[in-house]
Chains A and B, each alone.
Chain A
Amino acid sequence: GPKVLQIPSHQIIDMGQMVTLNCDPVSNHLYFYWYKQILGQQMEFLVNFYNGKVMEKSKLFKDQFSVERPDGSYFTLKIQPTALEDSAVYFCASSSGTGRNERLFFGHGTKLSVL
């Protein structure tokens, strides 16, 4: 079936550094999402993105977070600077639209470890 690819699968960085998580969404999808998961539970919504803009973001999407998808390339989540509490698995998802109840396709996640 359709696949969302996330690169890298694991990233280890020092607190205060910048990190960029990359997502290659399903090719004809238009809506993109980032979720944060801690300890294998609680899929926490961060942000959704459409047509070059953030459509909605949660309280977890701090000022240090930003997203973009320049020229149809990777959909990225940048954290600058990182904090210890940013350690989690970040899942990218995409959907073909927000027509009624669109199915989300998730990547395998990027595990971010902030030391």
Chain B
Amino acid sequence: QQQVRQSPQSLTVWEGETAILNCSYENSAFDYFPWYQQFPGEGPALLIAIRSVSDKKEDGGFTIFFNKREKNLSLHIKDSQPGDSATYFCAASANNNRIFFGDGTQLVVKP
């Protein structure tokens, strides 16, 4: 059973637009939600993360909106740049248990 689901599978936006990447999860025990960014030929790297006690987390142009009741969250990339083109993984974990990754959203930002 897929623990973390992401949509869309791929997303194309124009430079300067806000890209919105969605994520939902099944396990109510999940309390930590990191987003990892992966460029081609590299490993994923932590971008931003939120804990379930918060409903919003901002870092630079990246914002996570979290809805605990609906068990979903979204990553907003404001003023997208071509350099933001990458695959974004939503992940989730509960306490000290392992991290579950979603299938990723491939983002393309066109100049």
Q: How large is the interface on A (under 10, 10 to 19, 20 to 34, 35 or more residues)?
A: 20 to 34
State A109–B96 Cα separation when bound (angstroms): 25
Main secondary structure of the interface of B (DSSP, over half): strand
Question: With A43-B89, A43-B101, A101-B32 as given contacts, are A106 and B40 in contact (CB-CB < 8 Å)?
Answer: no
Contact B87 A106 (CB under 8 A): no
Question: With A41-B87, A100-B96, A101-B49 as given contacts, are A91 and B44 in contact (CB-CB < 8 Å)?
Answer: yes
State A69–B101 Cα separation when bound (angstroms): 25
Residue A104 at the B interface, CB < 8 A? Answer: yes
Interface string of B50-84 (1 = CB under 8 A from A): 01000000000000000000000000000000000
Contact A106 B44 (CB under 8 A): yes
Select one of A45, A48, A93, A101 contacting B43, CB under 8 A: A93
State A31–B89 Cα separation when bound (angstroms): 21
State A106–B45 Cα separation when bound (angstroms): 7
Contact A100 B87 (CB under 8 A): no
Residue A107 at the B interface, CB < 8 A? Answer: yes
The number of residues on chain B lying at the interface, defined by a beta carbon within 8 Å of a beta carbon of chain A, is 25
Select one of B32, B43, B49 contacting A91, CB under 8 A: B43
Contact A104 B46 (CB under 8 A): yes
Residue A99 at the B interface, CB < 8 A? Answer: yes
State A5–B4 Cα separation when bound (angstroms): 28
Question: With A40-B87, A41-B87 as given contacts, are A99 and B104 in contact (CB-CB < 8 Å)?
Answer: no
**B46 contact set on A, CB distance < 8 A:** 103-104
**Which residue of A is nearest B95, CB measured?**
A100
A80 to chain B, nearest CB (A): 24
Residue A14 at the B interface, CB < 8 A? Answer: no
**Which residue of B is nearest A98, CB measured?**
B96
A101 to chain B, nearest CB (A): 4
A sample of 22 inter-chain contacts (CB < 8 A) reads: A4-B43, A40-B38, A42-B101, A42-B103, A43-B89, A44-B101, A45-B98, A45-B99, A56-B98, A98-B96, A99-B96, A100-B32, A100-B95, A101-B32, A101-B34, A101-B49, A103-B34, A104-B46, A105-B45, A106-B43, A106-B45, A109-B41
Extra contacts, 8 of them, besides A91-B44, A101-B51 (Cβ < 8 A), are A41-B87, A42-B101, A98-B96, A99-B96, A101-B32, A108-B42, A109-B41, A109-B42
